[in-house]
Structure 1
């Protein structure tokens, strides 16, 4: 590549990095901040709801059915939707109910049946944190905005690494891997933006990809491809034939990513006498389901009991469907049944949430979040210090043809991440029909 071509490519990538960063930096900042807070959900909730969670182990527990009856005696108009026995001997049991069209958790002492308290879903702090982190609390529009932010952050990482690469400066460390703290203000701000950005780039890419798996567009399509690629769920999942149904497990229960598209079997109606919740809990214990599981109750005459385990480690995940009349296991889907890509994704998601490796996992990701926040803040300060009065401060648009390498990169990003492709079309239309046509706007964007 000639020096002219190289210079054109560098200027093009710099300009795109500048604008992408300026536009999405606020969203990255908000996602990073909320993600850093969400990492410590277990500790924060244990502190906030300690009065609900903790009970004294006094020996034998009363049956789950009696615990549920106690709740229904207190709330006769409630509908029970789920039951969580608790993962430790000193942890309360939880009965999930619907009251006045609102999901509520009723905490029960499993040793004597006393009701400890109740907590509406809408009063849980991390319901809001989760909603903000996943969709900015804006529903489908917010979900797409989060996905777009994540995808363009990948563009920022790739273009940033290209700009950072130390051309012709062998064995240079300062300004590349270590900030030059004794240089002038602009150089210091540049290094405090670039160096943390380089250090966090790999970890941030990991968080983006694992986070994208939960998005409503790209994530949903990847999930469909992963579960409908010709192999589907392995036959060993089913006891008997796989069900022919359009109902998926995610429609009836909150389950792990790999099990969300698992078809839901139906119960074989036999005399309309369902088995007791006591039998379901006993089955769960007998087959070794991780004690973090919840039992989701059937909602129709041919519905099933669903066991959904949300353990800290991916290897303990389980989604199990049980016939409500016979108590027979109809489907048993666990980590060992996942395809290799499913296992990788399951592990990636638990790491993303700071669960897989406990406190060490949380600390590493928190440091990573601090690095991202530092790169954003110092990047904005750097731009503000350098910005001239007459335009936004973007690098001048390079003369001549756009570098082929950059065009290929954007085409690949647009194909792999369709929302990036759509946004590129919008950007080019704005550039062609607005920015280039209006002199003041053209000057402002330094085009």
Structure 2
């Protein structure tokens, strides 16, 4: 006599409903997940890739005595007399060039200067940087706001796919390790692809969750929501970051001026006082060095009479991040924001971003990120292959919709919470529900094609 118990009909219907939702989401978002994983895997190794591609621009023979930063800027101005100098990154290693940002007509260029003799080593159009293109493809599909929303939607649904996938994977009527935590590679094609889809997802689930959640602060809607939460709860940048007291009159966020750490993106740019003579770049460097800003920082030059010098650096370890605003006339430090000043949420997000980009704990961080990206490609790819092999001829092959299915209170609550936490998911859920219940189920031909 068999002692095997069978799940009640309600659980079978819940399983069927979740499987159907998992299927729809997988078919739609698997291509996006694969693309994000490929571009993410490449971007993890940005330092190594750029050091190799631009080695002739980055590296020079170390000399004995560097010329002054003003002389370096003068060499650039001589080569580009019509250009406006916008930024300066001092050489931070004996064999590294200095980098000067200029606006030359409609082109934003980075000019690389030998700090020992002022010779221009080369220039790069900032729009032509390979890794910047990879970053735009990864973050917004090179499609601006629409692309950003699609990427955010795909990331949110990847999280839901993982949760629903783990529910479907969870062993119910078997105790075997094979097919649960060990893939069955010799049990036929269908079993092979099923296990290649499910088992790696279980092993990588924690890493996938971390990868998704640490990427969301960059997204448009979720990122803005997180930033507002940090501001409202005083867990972002503190008011005392402004060394001079009251908040500045300017409403321009620092991210609109130059690239800065996430926690400093919404830091308002203060205004400089009145004056006649602006600080020299040497004086700004002296302030940075006196305040022990981590080497590798970038100096953004003031924009207009009220503009300020902005010093920013985003090293591998977020604990070394710094963002300073300096009065261009008096040299007074108007704002000085460091990791120790961040609120709890800003600290957590800054560390999360470092983990996401693969530079928090060196090569091991990169390899773990790469392993997770490869795993996501295998999981999404095997899911698509599994569907392609099992789909009926001329049909989509969606799992059969459960009949007379009624959502329990906790399932309804989970859906509502997901819709609140991930606004785009809430909108997409509503659209899919309307399509499924108001259109697909009312058109027999379409219902038959869906399966």
Q: Any conservation in 1 of the 2:235–2:342 contact (CA below 8 Å)?
A: no
Per the alignment, do residues 56 and 390 of structure 1 end up closer, same or farther by CA in structure 2, a change over 3 Å counting? closer
Q: Any conservation in 2 of the 1:308–1:319 contact (CA below 8 Å)?
A: yes
Q: Any conservation in 1 of the 2:236–2:345 contact (CA below 8 Å)?
A: no
Query: Hey, what's the Cα distance between the residues in 2 that align with 1:419 and 1:256?
Result: 26
Per the alignment, do residues 67 and 148 of structure 1 end up closer, same or farther by CA in structure 2, a change over 3 Å counting? same
Deviation at 1:230, TM superposition (A): 4.8
Aligned match of 1:126:
131
Aligned match of 1:414:
419
Aligned match of 2:163:
158
Query: Hey, what's the Cα distance between the residues in 1 that align with 2:57 and 2:232?
Result: 42
Query: Hey, what's the Cα distance between the residues in 1 that align with 2:235 and 2:207?
Result: 31
Query: Hey, what's the Cα distance between the residues in 2 that align with 1:78 and 1:417?
Result: 44
Query: Hey, what's the Cα distance between the residues in 2 that align with 1:444 and 1:408?
Result: 31
Q: CA RMSD in A?
A: 1.5
Does residue 444 (structure 1) correspond to residue 444 (structure 2)? The answer is no
Deviation at 1:352, TM superposition (A): 0.5
Aligned match of 2:3:
none
Query: Hey, what's the Cα distance between the residues in 2 that align with 1:185 and 1:327?
Result: 70
Aligned match of 1:135:
140
Query: Hey, what's the Cα distance between the residues in 2 that align with 1:111 and 1:283?
Result: 22
Per the alignment, do residues 406 and 389 of structure 1 end up closer, same or farther by CA in structure 2, a change over 3 Å counting? farther
- 1:148-177 per-position Cα deviation (integer Å, ceiling 9, x unaligned): 10111111011001001112434x321111
Query: Hey, what's the Cα distance between the residues in 2 that align with 1:390 and 1:114?
Result: 66
Counterparts of 1:1-400 in structure 2 under 5 Å?
Answer: 3-170=8-175, 172-230=176-234, 233-241=237-245, 242-270=247-275, 272-400=276-404
Query: Hey, what's the Cα distance between the residues in 2 that align with 1:228 and 1:55?
Result: 48
Which aligned segments of 4 or more residues in structure 1 are displaced greater than 3 angstroms?
230-233
With normalisation by structure 2, the TM-score equals 0.96
Deviation at 1:340, TM superposition (A): 1.4
- 1:36-83 per-position Cα deviation (integer Å, ceiling 9, x unaligned): 011111111111101001112212221111111110011001000100
Q: Which runs of 5+ in 2 are unaligned?
A: 1-5
Per the alignment, do residues 231 and 202 of structure 1 end up closer, same or farther by CA in structure 2, a change over 3 Å counting? closer
Q: Secondary structure at the match of 1:213?
A: helix
Q: Secondary structure at the match of 1:146?
A: helix
Q: Any conservation in 2 of the 1:56–1:90 contact (CA below 8 Å)?
A: yes
With normalisation by structure 1, the TM-score equals 0.96
Q: Secondary structure at the match of 1:33?
A: helix
Q: Any conservation in 2 of the 1:9–1:406 contact (CA below 8 Å)?
A: no
Q: Secondary structure at the match of 1:306?
A: strand
Q: Any conservation in 2 of the 1:12–1:403 contact (CA below 8 Å)?
A: no
Deviation at 1:335, TM superposition (A): 0.3
- 1:195-248 per-position Cα deviation (integer Å, ceiling 9, x unaligned): 111122211111111111001111112112212325763244222213243111
Query: Hey, what's the Cα distance between the residues in 2 that align with 1:97 and 1:390?
Result: 57
Query: Hey, what's the Cα distance between the residues in 2 that align with 1:132 and 1:125?
Result: 11
Deviation at 1:390, TM superposition (A): 4.8
Greater Cα offset, 177-186 or 92-101: 177-186
Q: Secondary structure at the match of 2:17?
A: helix
Query: Hey, what's the Cα distance between the residues in 2 that align with 1:86 and 1:7?
Result: 65
Q: Secondary structure at the match of 2:428?
A: helix
Deviation at 1:19, TM superposition (A): 0.8
Deviation at 1:105, TM superposition (A): 0.3
Q: Any conservation in 2 of the 1:309–1:317 contact (CA below 8 Å)?
A: yes
Query: Hey, what's the Cα distance between the residues in 2 that align with 1:212 and 1:123?
Result: 26
Q: Secondary structure at the match of 2:326?
A: strand
Q: Which runs of 5+ in 1 are unaligned?
A: none
